[in-house]
Amino acid sequence: MYSLKNKTAIITGGGSGIGKAISVTLAGQGANVFIFDLDEKGSQETVETIASSGGHAEYILCSVDKEEEVQKAVQYVLNKQLPDILINNAGIAHVGNVENTSAADFERLFSVNVKGVYHLLKYCIPPMKANGGVVLNMASIAAWVGLSDRFAYSMTKGAVAAITLSVAKDYLKYNIRCNSISPARVHTPFVDGFIAKNYPGQEEEMFKKLSATQPIGRMAKPEEVAALALYLCSDEASFITGTDYPIDGGYIRLNS
């Protein structure tokens, strides 16, 4: 089950965290993985991890908010094979409410988290129309619940959720499925860096506090998100489109 043999996957932000876990997991099931990321060191490490297990992966340095870079990166893949899977995982975070979020920060979040998704869709959807395929977007619980001091970030993830529905509707006739995943907090190097930067000297205390906000009592592991991504990209999920999947330790429904 969940075989992706002879499938080609483009995964943005595959150099670390959730994107790395998804890249390794999909490659482990036979997918040819192309990572689009600005993190050359992390991307190289992901490629080496995949190769050490007999998988195939390449990385292309690409900033998803720059259309020309995305176009060139997608064309590089197309020169080799048609993409079957697109995973829009790359994104950035921001802390702030509407009063203390600058216009520059707002535009930066929108550019990466929303325009980045648009750019990949714009250049991947047309070739995918030939044989069908799967689009999987990374949304967030921030699209569905109110989170303190996540004004701009929540805006972008709400947009990603809406984009998912629109693409799912528009491309049904081409056998292109589009879904999204909405994680709560996931323990990645980004989280560790965020805590160290914003709460120096209180790292252990803050980690426990943030973990406890999930009713299940801990953060998710990147590999758990990757397992859900694998299912949604596989033929076993061929009847699923236009759906968001929370992976949140009960946060949305049980946090009262």
The C-alpha atoms of residue 87 and residue 13 are separated, in whole angstroms, by 9
The C-alpha atoms of residue 80 and residue 100 are separated, in whole angstroms, by 46
Catalytic residue among 59, 123, 153, 251: 153
Give φ, ψ of 142 to 5 degrees.
Answer: -65, -15
Q: What share of the chain is helix, strand, coil (3-state, %, to 5)?
A: 50, 15, 35
The C-alpha atoms of residue 73 and residue 69 are separated, in whole angstroms, by 6
Nearest to 76 by CA among 25, 127, 19: 127
Tokens linked to 103: 């216009």
Angle in degrees, 0-180, between the axes of helices 116-128 and 67-78, rounded to the nearest 10:
30
Query: Is 251 part of the annotated catalytic residue set?
Result: no
| Strand order, beta sheet including 8-12 | 56-61, 32-37, 8-12, 85-88, 133-138, 176-183, 244-247
- The residues that are catalytic are 153
